[in-house]
Amino acid sequence: MKHRLWSRPGYESLAIEAIDVEVRRLSQVTLQFRVTLLGGIGNLILPAPSPPGRANNLWRTTCFEAFLAPVEAPGYRELNFSPSSQWAAYDFEARREGMVDAALIAPPEIAIAGGEEKLELTATLSLALDQEPYRLGPCAVIEEAGGHISYWALNHPGDVPDFHHPACLALDLPSAPDT
């Protein structure tokens, strides 16, 4: 199922008309995120292609993120996927506290496709997920020419952009397919 992100009021995009996110659970441990941007892709600042690998501070320019939290626990995981093919994964003990690099079963696979009016990033990754229910918050930071930045999510609580806010975790993680 696709979900439409919306830009934070006061931080609207000048180039992007819409961002859609599709989250699929391919198996008990495998998730796939497909993020589709529609609009003036040529007006975006996109990081240069890089060898796939873990990197920090990806959110400082165009980057796609997802926050994943068990329903009944204070901790959560932050996942970052860059159009450069770099990625990051962090575990937090509580909101913005106790951040450490998250261990993943394998590095995410990131694919980019698109043109002048559409950019699509697909990230497939494996996570050790318990059987408990999870909440999910997909989001994006979009940098445009001239340094303008817009912040996209399903929900924007509070007075400033804050993807770590629990209210941003607005989706139930899809159930694993029957095996």
Backbone angles phi, psi at 46, to 5 degrees: -110, 135
Q: What is the CATH number of domain 2-172?
A: 2.60.40.1190
Question: What local confidence, expressed as pLDDT, does residue 131 receive?
Answer: 67
- Encode pLDDT of 104-113 as tens digits: 999 999 999 9
Place 38 in a pLDDT band, splitting at 50, 70 and 90: very high
What is the spatial distance between Cα 176 and Cα 179, in angstroms, rounded to a whole number? 9
What is the spatial distance between Cα 48 and Cα 55, in angstroms, rounded to a whole number? 13
- Encode pLDDT of 121-149 as tens digits: 999 999 988 767 899 999 999 999 999 99
Spell out the domain ranges in the chain. Answer: 2-172
